[in-house]
Amino acid sequence: MKDHYDPWYVRMPDGRVIKAKSSQSVRYHVEAGHIPRNSMLRRLKNEEWVSLGWLNEFADLVGGDKKPEQITSDTNVEFVRAITGQGDPMRLETVGVRGLTEELLTAFDSTGHRDKLIVGSLLCGLSSVLLVLVPFIWFQLGNKETTWLPYVGNAISALLMTLGITWISRQTHWELSRMRSISLGEAQRRSFGPWIQLILAYTVVIGILGGLIYVLNHVPIWLAVDPSSYKGASIGLGLLIAKIFVFQLLLLVPVLGPIGPIEEYNFIESIGTWQKLCARNYGRILVYEGVALVMGFLAALPILLPYNLAGGTIGTFPPNINPVSVFGTHFLMGLAIGPMFVFLIVSNVILYLNLRYEFSANR
């Protein structure tokens, strides 16, 4: 990752642990008296706590009598407030689930970036149209057997969605790390490689999980057991538990999205990092993703609600329905869910960065 945070975890004398976003933030709060000079610091969870005075970055602060430095316009505080929603880059953050919940509120502010909303909504609209456009064209050409063709539309739609994930993840990460506004054009530069790697990562992970679901659904048929017998009931219960676990893993897949675009990993490295994060924070990510889905729905509600009140629906192609109506309603529906799509991407970028820097043993 070429641009990253410079976080410090600070253990106060009373045992509280907080996170400062940078060395500059630590210095400011020590000089201001918010952080006692006998506090302990570390960057990673696996590191030992080190006394403030033993660190080269802050050794000059111990015993010093300097006044708090003023935050100048060079820190671009107003922009940081706009994209983080947390006051300024000097803010101290609570570590843990409470901190992640606060970051979800931060994601709302970053979601409101015009470029993100435009790109996310347009890609969702085009993807929604493609779900019905490909089968329609095939049908008009006289090929009535289209049972497999929807999968082609689904695949093209998935490619567009992963492209949006790549762009928005890079844009959000660079905004947070560089503390300035990032245009969509900047995020698009050299994004082809990360996009392809993300497609491969999603294909492998979702393919494996989908294969597991297929196997679990067909085990009773292959075993030819009577579901009313004790043996059949026991097997059925075990399969149910296994399927619940697999579907929970599917809920963790969104965290995979920002890893490759941010770190510029290949798909194998991305999957490995995702697996480690999920293994260490399984329950935590599940709760976060559940709350993010609810908040994402709220982000889209101002558009979804008027759409439904106006009678907007989505459907297929009955012979007597004008295709313009179907294409139009699908496109509008895609536009309506665009804010939710963007919010989920942004929230997973923030979630990944939090988990990475709080728990990673490699950086």
If asked whether residues 57 and 181 sit together in one domain, one would say no
Within-domain flag for 268: yes
Contact 300, 338 (CB under 8 A): yes
CA-based nearest residue to 150, from 166, 138, 141: 138
DSSP state of 33: T
Domain boundary among 54, 70, 86: 70
If asked whether residues 52 and 184 sit together in one domain, one would say no
Q: Give the count of domains, the chain.
A: 2
Within-domain flag for 1: no
What's the token pair of residue 202?
């999603």
If asked whether residues 23 and 147 sit together in one domain, one would say no
Q: Which amino acid appears at position 296 of this protein? A: G
Predicted TM-score of the model (pTM): 0.69
Mean pLDDT score, 339-356: 87
If asked whether residues 42 and 108 sit together in one domain, one would say no
Domain boundary among 70, 90, 121: 70
Q: Which residues pair with 51 in a beta bridge?
A: 40
Q: What is the pLDDT of residue 198?
A: 95
Q: What is the pLDDT of residue 1?
A: 46
d(CA 239, CA 227): 12
If asked whether residues 231 and 273 sit together in one domain, one would say yes
| 111 C-beta neighbours (distance < 10 Å), count | 24
Q: Count CA atoms closer than 13 A to 153's CA, side-chain side.
A: 18
If asked whether residues 203 and 319 sit together in one domain, one would say yes
Model confidence band, residue 28 (pLDDT cutoffs 50, 70, 90): confident
Within-domain flag for 62: yes
How do 8-11 and 92-94 pair as beta strands?
unpaired
If asked whether residues 126 and 255 sit together in one domain, one would say yes
Within-domain flag for 134: yes
Mean pLDDT score, 48-65: 78
For residue 56, the enclosing domain spans 8-70
Within-domain flag for 348: yes
pLDDT tens digits along 139-178: 666 665 556 666 777 888 899 999 999 999 998 888 877 6
pLDDT tens digits along 272-288: 999 999 998 898 889 88
d(CA 7, CA 79): 19
Buried-exposed string 135-148: b where 16+ CB fall within 10 A, e elsewhere: bbebbeeeeeeeee
Within-domain flag for 93: no
Model confidence band, residue 345 (pLDDT cutoffs 50, 70, 90): very high
Model confidence band, residue 72 (pLDDT cutoffs 50, 70, 90): very low
Query: Which residue, chain included where needed, has tokens 């590191």?
Result: 47
d(CA 289, CA 100): 11
Mean pLDDT score, 22-49: 81
Within-domain flag for 157: yes
Calculated CA dihedral for residues 142, 313, 162, 137, nearest 10 degrees:
10
If asked whether residues 242 and 120 sit together in one domain, one would say yes
Within-domain flag for 56: yes
If asked whether residues 228 and 334 sit together in one domain, one would say yes
Contact 58, 49 (CB under 8 A): no
Q: What is the pLDDT of residue 268?
A: 95
Q: What is the pLDDT of residue 231?
A: 83
d(CA 129, CA 122): 11
pLDDT tens digits along 185-232: 888 888 899 999 999 999 999 999 999 999 999 888 888 877 778 888
CA-based nearest residue to 139, from 128, 125, 153, 157: 153
If asked whether residues 137 and 265 sit together in one domain, one would say yes
Model confidence band, residue 67 (pLDDT cutoffs 50, 70, 90): very low
Domain boundary among 49, 70, 91: 70
If asked whether residues 182 and 279 sit together in one domain, one would say yes
If asked whether residues 66 and 108 sit together in one domain, one would say no
